[in-house]
Amino acid sequence: MRSARLAKAITKAAVYVRNGRTGQVLLKFRSPGAKDRLFPPVPLKDLNNKESFINLSKLYSAEQLKTSTLEDLILAGHLELGNF
């Protein structure tokens, strides 16, 4: 893993992400059984709202998150990783 923050969040089971205001973002999973997830843009009024983040750890296993395109999307700035 290239992102230490993401590795720490996966270990703590607290991977909070939201769209990085770049239009719709598609998170792809390489593991069978996990469907791709579409992230719509976050409205400007919700930029300071913690509820605009989604906890992916509650929806997907750590292994599914590791084998997804999550890290690439975060490093490219398409998804924003929360500091919780």
* Residue appearing with tokens 């990085």: 20
Task: Tell me the pLDDT tens digit for each residue of 25-58.
Answer: 999 999 888 999 999 998 888 888 899 999 999 9
Neighbours of 15 (CB within 10 A): 26
Supply the DSSP symbol for 30.
Answer: -
Q: pLDDT category, 83, cuts 50, 70, 90?
A: confident
Task: Tell me the pLDDT tens digit for each residue of 1-26.
Answer: 788 999 999 999 999 999 987 789 99
